[in-house]
Structures are given as C-alpha cells and as structure tokens.
C-alpha cells in the first residue's frame, strides 16, 4: 500500500488498476464513442499520438471504456447524518504505444449537458484528480456488490441450493460441485446479517446504503449475462484477450482452460454421449432451478450436448474459486489508501470546472471514523480461512476412486505448472500479479 500511496494520482496507475487491479471486469474495448459521452475528436487530439486521431485510434482498437451506467440515478446513502453522493461515470482510456492505458476523458454522469462537463487530463490538476476519484468511488460500489457479491458469492449460493435440492448425492455433478459451493451458505448468511444489514458496514459507511442495495443488486443481476461468466468469451468481447498488459486476462484464461479440460473429462466419464445428457431429468431440473432463481441473460435453458454441460459447470467452478480470488484477495492492496478508493463521497459531483482546491479534495472523503470501520472490516476479511483447500483439491472420499484420481493428478499437475509460471513471471516484476496463482485460489467462496 506504500506504492498505492505514492502513485495513486498518476494516470498510468489508474489504467493499470483497470487491468491488474481488484476489479478487472469493467473495462472494455470500444469501437464507437458512446452516444451519451459528449467528446469530440478535437477535444481529445492533444492526448493521442502525433498524426493520429480519435477515429483512427478507435479503428485500431486502442480506445477502452469504463461505463458505470448501472449506478445511474440510484439513491445514495446518508452516513453520520450526512447525505452522500454517487455518480455514474463514463471514462475513456487510450492504450498508447508504450503499452500504458491512460484515461483521456471522464464524464461523471450519463446524461450529457452543460452541468455535466467532460474532464480532461489538461484540466487543472485537482479537477482531473477529483474526476478520477469519482470513477474509483463508482468502481468500489460495482466491485463489491456486483463483481464480488453477485458474481461470486451469489453464484455459489445459487449453485449450492440448486445442487442440494435437485441432484441426489450420488449424481456425478453433485459430487463434483458441492466441494466448490458448500461454504457459500454460511458466509452469505453472515454477510447479509452483518455487512449488508441495517447498522451493518454498508448502512453505516458505504455510499451504497440500504436504499441503494435492492435497486443496485437487481440492476446488477439483470446485467450479468452468461457470456460474461465464460472467460474466453468475456475476454474477447471486452478486447482484453489481445492485451499482454492484462495479467488478469492471461492468468484467467490459463486457469479456465485447465479447469475446463478437467470438467470435460469428468462429464465424459459419466455421460457416454450427448443423448445421455438430454435424457437426464435431474440435470435439467437442476438447470431450471438455477435459471428460475438466478440471472436470466443468455443462460442455456436446456443442455443438448456434453460440451454445453462442461462449459456451464466450468463457469460455476471458475466463479466460485478463481474469480473470487481475483476480486477478493486484491482488495486490501488497493483500498487501504482511502483516496484511491473512496467508499463514499460527501459532496455532489462537480458541475463546473475549476472550482476545486487541494483542501476541497479532502472534503469529499468520508469521516475518519467511517473510514476506520471500512478498513477494519476489510482487515477482518483478511484472516486466512481456517481450512483452506486449494483449487481442484478435494477431501471427499469419492475423489480417491481410481478413475477420479487420474483426472485429479492431471489437473493438479497442470495447475502446479501455472503456479510455477506465475511465480517465475512475478519474480521479474516490480508490481507482481499474484491473485490468480492457483495455489492461492480457494476451492470455494469461504470469505
């Protein structure tokens, strides 16, 4: 966190965090300017390479976008009897020839207009810094509630309940999935009774309070599509697969492939053909249960092939293990320096340029006592899980049977190779990306 404190104001580190930080799920390549972002080619020319233009950079795939429209118009919390504020920024970034991703325009609200200026790197230092802080504040809400709670914790709970309800103990997918989801009920009940409840952390300290949560969580759920849960599709849809600068993307893809091979072998061990999949009523009861209570956007309604089952199960296992590690492990590293991650903002988003001073910046940040609560909660989450089981390791007797043991030896050896490769890479780096190293990934959502 010393590094964060020293570099949080720098533009390259803002871009760095979109790819190598704790919420690598928001950034996406864009080939068109969003219609509601009021920038022109001329405005942005000074921040693009000599002789190039916004159109050319868009065409080359060098322009990226952060869009927090899910926060548009949601009510913000009242903390310590003070109204706080949320914004729904749009932020444009440029991937330059040195491989840095630099923010080049920030509009704090979705609807363009005279009271919603577009902040630029050439604005006064405090205007630009404050605009970036607003983006990080919006990102914190989306990170905790959507990337972390919905995509990992709720996904695990959904799968856990459907598995217990619809698949008998002896069903091969019950056996494979339960170790990945069984800890989720306890931790989620705990989170809803403390962190998300009245007088809990969000109520007392975070910009998204009790009035925000139902709305934001339901909007967030509606935006979770099946494609975004499948790593190869998600990364190529967002243009991250081609970026050597995204360590999340590189590591995520290797882990997905390894888990996917393992799950495919598991599925093929039990289903001897696609028709066996189609004729399994328990499997379809399970899928229907997940769809009925979960996310609806593009999820399969029926399984026709073994490959579809394997992909679906891989997406579930990945979300409960690797994705949780990527969004959870990393939070303390980036959030401990509060200005880098303002969990609430005490003043409304600026409607004009040139109105903030250095002192003003601090007056946007939450009270000291509020900040302490958040840091203590994050610290509490850092207690190592007592019975940590690494990804694709299983204690259940069933996994010691010969056929299973062979599959496990294979997947575990491949994961060890990934760990070694990541350790080797990280040893050369000033800023390592350790979060997706398989030996640090827990098999299930336990915290």
Ligand X SMILES: *[C@@H]1O[C@H](CO)[C@@H](O)[C@H](O)[C@H]1NC(C)=O
Q: Which of 38, 166, 331, 419 binds ligand X (CB under 6 A)?
A: 331
Please provide the size of the chain in residues: 447
Residues facing 95 on adjacent strands: 101
> Contacting ligand X (CB under 6 A), which of 7, 11, 36, 227?
36
Point out the residue whose Cβ comes nearest to Fe ion: 328
Does 184 bind Fe ion (CB under 5 A)? Our answer is no
To Fe ion, the closest distance from the beta carbon of 446 in angstroms equals 8
- Taking alpha carbons only, the member of 413, 429, 94, 99 closest to residue 258 is 413
Which of 5, 12, 1 is closest to 245 using CA atoms?
12
Window contacting ligand X (CB under 6 A); options: 33-41, 161-169, 181-189, 297-305: 33-41
Exposed e or buried b for every residue in 39-61, given b needs 16+ CB within 10 A?
beeeebeebbeeeeebeebbeee
Residues 240-279, mask of contacts with ligand X (x by CB under 6 A): -----x-x--------------------------------
Looking at the Cβ atoms of 76 and 102, the one nearer to ligand X is 102
Residue 390 CA to residue 403 CA, distance in Å, equals 21
Q: Which stretch binds ligand X (CB under 6 A): 32-40, 226-234, 268-276, 292-300?
A: 32-40
Give CA torsion, residues 428, 429, 434, 437, to 10 deg.
-30
By CB under 5 A, is residue 319 in contact with Fe ion?
no
Taking CB under 6 A as the criterion, the residue among 25, 27, 93, 101 binding ligand X is 101
Contact region with Fe ion (CB under 5 A), list: 2-10, 117-125, 260-268, 323-331: 323-331
Q: What is the Cα gyration radius of the chain?
A: 22
Q: Is the dihedral of CA 103, 109, 295, 177 positive or negative?
A: positive
Cα–Cα distance between 346 and 190 in angstroms, integer?
29
Provide, rounded to whole angstroms, the least separation between the CB of residue 287 and ligand X.
Answer: 27
Buried (b) or exposed (e) across 287-303, using 16+ Cβ within 10 A? bebbbeebbeeebeeeb
Q: Which is nearer to ligand X, 71 or 76 (CB)?
A: 71
* Helix, strand, coil percentages, rounded to 5, for the chain: 55, 10, 35
Residue 153 is labelled as binding a ligand: yes
- Tell me whether residue 247 or residue 256 sits nearer to ligand X (CB atom): 247
Q: How far is the CB of 174 from Fe ion (least distance, A)?
A: 24
- Of 182-190, 223-231, 327-335, 336-344, the segment contacting ligand X by CB under 6 A is 327-335
Applying the rule CB under 6 A, the residues between 335 and 394 that interact with ligand X are 367, 369, 381-382, 384-385
Position 15 contacts ligand X (CB under 6 A) = yes
Distance CA 135, CA 342 (A): 9
| CB closest to ligand X, residue no | 34
- The structure tokens listed for 363 are 């007056």
Order of strands across the sheet that contains 28-29: 28-29, 63-67, 90-95, 101-107, 118-119
Determine whether the annotation assigns residue 148 to a binding site: yes
Instruction: Answer yes or no whether residue 209 interacts with ligand X by CB under 6 A.
Output: no
Q: Is 92 in the site for ligand X (CB under 6 A)?
A: no
Does 166 bind Fe ion (CB under 5 A)? Our answer is no
H helices then E strands: how many in the chain?
21, 7
**DSSP string spanning 358-407?**
HHHHHHTSPPHHHHHHHHHHHHHTTSPPTT--BTT---SGGGGSHHHHHH
Q: How many CA atoms lie within 13 A of 139 on its CB side?
A: 30
- The neighbouring-strand residues paired with 82 are 79
Using rule CB under 6 A, residue 46 touches ligand X: no
Q: Which of 69, 237, 241, 410 binds ligand X (CB under 6 A)?
A: 69
Residues 20, 116, 328, 331: which binds Fe ion (CB under 5 A)?
A: 328
Q: Does 97 bind ligand X (CB under 6 A)?
A: no
Residue 396 CB neighbours (<10 A):
11
180 annotated as belonging to a binding site for a ligand = no
Residue 260 marked as a ligand binder:
no
String marking each residue 293-312 x if it binds ligand X according to CB under 6 A: --------------------
- Enumerate the known binding-site residues for Fe cation: 148, 153, 324, 447
- Enumerate the known binding-site residues: 148, 153, 324, 447
Q: Which residues bind ligand X (CB under 6 A)?
A: 15-16, 19-20, 34-36, 67, 69, 72, 80, 99-101, 110, 245, 247, 324-325, 328-329, 331-332, 367, 369, 381-382, 384-385, 429, 431, 433, 442, 446-447
């Amino acid at each position: 966190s010393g590094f964060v404190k020293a570099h949080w104001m720098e533009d390259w580190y803002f871009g760095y965090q979109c790819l190598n930080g704790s919420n690598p799920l928001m950034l996406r390549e864009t080939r068109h300017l969003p219609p509601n972002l009021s920038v022109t080619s001329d405005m942005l020319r000074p921040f693009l390479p000599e002789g190039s233009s916004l159109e050319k950079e868009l065409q080359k795939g060098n322009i990226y976008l952060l869009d927090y429209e899910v926060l548009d118009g949601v009510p913000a919390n009242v903390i310590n009897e003070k109204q706080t504020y949320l914004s729904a920024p749009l932020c444009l970034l440029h991937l330059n020839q040195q491989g840095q991703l630099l923010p080049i325009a920030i509009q704090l609200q979705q609807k363009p207009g005279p009271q919603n200026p577009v902040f630029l790197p050439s604005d006064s230092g405090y205007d630009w810094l404050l605009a970036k802080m607003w983006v990080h504040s919006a990102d914190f809400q989306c990170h905790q509630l959507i990337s972390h709670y919905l995509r990992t914790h709720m996904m695990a709970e959904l799968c856990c309940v459907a598995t217990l309800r619809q698949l008998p103990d002896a069903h091969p997918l019950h056996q494979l999935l339960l170790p990945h989801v069984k800890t989720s009920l306890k931790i989620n009940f705990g989170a809803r009774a403390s962190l998300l409840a009245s007088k809990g952390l969000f109520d007392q300290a975070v910009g998204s309070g009790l009035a925000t949560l139902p709305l934001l969580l339901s909007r967030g759920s509606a935006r979770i599509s099946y494609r975004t849960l499948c790593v190869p599709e998600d990364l190529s849809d967002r243009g991250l697969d081609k970026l050597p600068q995204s360590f999340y993307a590189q590591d995520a893809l290797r882990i997905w492939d390894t888990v996917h091979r393992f799950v495919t072998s598991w599925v093929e061990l039990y289903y001897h053909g696609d028709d066996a999949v189609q004729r399994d009523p328990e499997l379809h009861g399970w899928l229907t249960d997940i769809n009925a209570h979960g996310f609806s956007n593009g999820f399969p309604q029926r399984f026709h092939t073994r490959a579809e089952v394997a992909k679906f199960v891989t997406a579930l296992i990945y979300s409960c293990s690797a994705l949780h590690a990527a969004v959870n492990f990393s939070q303390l590293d980036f959030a401990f320096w509060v200005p880098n991650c303002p969990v609430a903002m005490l003043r409304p988003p600026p409607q004009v340029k040139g109105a903030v001073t250095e002192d003003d910046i601090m007056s946007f940040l939450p009270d000291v006592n509020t900040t302490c609560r958040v840091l203590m909660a994050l610290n509490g989450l850092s207690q190592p899980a007592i019975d940590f089981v690494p990804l694709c390791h299983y204690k259940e007797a069933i996994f010691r049977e010969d056929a299973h043991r062979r599959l496990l030896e294979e997947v575990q050896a491949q994961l060890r190779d990934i760990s070694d490769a990541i350790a080797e890479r990280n040893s050369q780096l000033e800023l390592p990306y350790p979060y997706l190293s398989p030996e640090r990934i827990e098999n299930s959502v336990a915290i």
